[in-house]
Amino acid sequence: MTAMIELANAEKTFTMHLQGGVELPVVRGVSFHADPGECVVLSGPSGAGKSSILKMIFGNYRCDSGRIGIRHHGKVIDLATAEPRQVLSIRRSTIGYVSQFLRAVPRVATIDVVAEPLIVNGVAREEARERAGKLLRRLNIPERLWSLPPSTFSGGEQQRVNIARGFISDLPILLLDEPTASLDAANRAVVVELIAEKKTRGVAMVAIVHDDEIRHLIADRIVDVTSFAAAA
C-alpha cells in the first residue's frame, strides 16, 4: 500500500462499568485511507464519532477490532495492536495531532511550547525557536507574548499557539480536530494556507471541520462518518 493511513473495519465501543455495564457503541466498520499529499475530511453530525475516529488513529482511544495501518519509517504498523513504545515512536516521528484545545504545560514560554516538537526530533534549539517565531508571526501572535506561557492567553490565541505547535513539525501525517473553530477570518485563511503547504510537501491529513467554506477549501475527499455509526 502507498497510503499513509489505512483503516479497515475499525470498531470502537465504550463499556460504562459505573453505569451497570452499559455498552455504548461508537463506530464500526470504519474503512477509509489517506494518501500522501491528501486531506480527507470527516463529515457527519455531532456525536457521529468523528473525533473518536481521530483519537483512534492517534492511539488515544483503543480500537476494539479491525485495523489501523500507519506507514511509519517505511513500514506499515497496525496501531490497533501496536505496543505502547511503538505508538510513542509513531507520535514522535510520524503522526501529529492538532486538538481544539491546548493542554498547556505550566511555566513554559509560548515560543518553547511551539518549538518543542522540533527539539524532540533533534533540531537545534536556536533553529527550532526561529522556525517557531516565523509561524507565530504568520498566525498573528504578537512577539511580546512569545516569552509568556500561553495559559493566560485568550481562547483564540491559545488555539493559534496550538496550531503553530501542530504545524511546525515535518511529520508525514497530521490529524486536525476543528483547527479553525474559534478563529477570525484572517487567521482561518492562514490555516487554509498552512494546510495547502503541507499538501505540497506530501503530508497526509485527516480533518474535522464544521465550517462549509473551509471544508470546501481544504478537502480533497470527504468521508461521511454517518455510515460508520454504530447505534445498536
Partner 1 sequence: MSELSSPDNDQPLLVAEGLAKNYGRLPACRDVSFALYPGEVLAIVGESGSGKSTLLQLLSAQLAPSAGRVSYRMRDGVLRDLAELGEAERRFLFRTDWGFVHQDPAQGLRMGVSAGANVSERLMAVGWNHYGRIRDTASTWLDRVEIDVGRIDDAPKTYSGGMRQRLQIARNLVTEPRLVFMDEPTGGLDVSVQARLLDLMRNLVSELGLAAIVVTHDLAVARLLSHRVMVMKGGRVIETGLTDQVLDDPREPYTQLLVSSILPP
Q: Which residues bind partner 1 (CB under 8 A)?
A: 14-18, 55, 59-62, 84-85, 87-89, 92-93, 105-108, 119-122
Neighbours of 78 (CB within 10 A): 15
Beta bridge partners of residue 175, listed in sequence order: 97, 206
The enclosing H or E element of 152 equals: none
> Cβ 35 to partner 1, closest distance in Å?
25
Per the CB < 8 A criterion, the answer to whether 96 and 174 are in contact is yes
* For partner 1, the closer CB: 62 or 137: 62
Per the CB < 8 A criterion, the answer to whether 69 and 7 are in contact is yes
* For partner 1, the closer CB: 13 or 140: 13
> Cβ 106 to partner 1, closest distance in Å?
5
* For partner 1, the closer CB: 117 or 218: 117
* For partner 1, the closer CB: 16 or 231: 16
> Cβ 123 to partner 1, closest distance in Å?
10
> Cβ 214 to partner 1, closest distance in Å?
27
**Residue tagged 501525517 (cell numbers):** 173
> Cβ 77 to partner 1, closest distance in Å?
14
Instruction: Kindly calculate the radius of gyration of the chain based on its CA atoms and give it in whole angstroms.
Output: 18
Q: Output b/e per residue, 181-213; b: 16+ Cβ within 10 A.
A: bebeeebbebbbebbeebbeeebbbbbbbeeee
* For partner 1, the closer CB: 64 or 211: 64
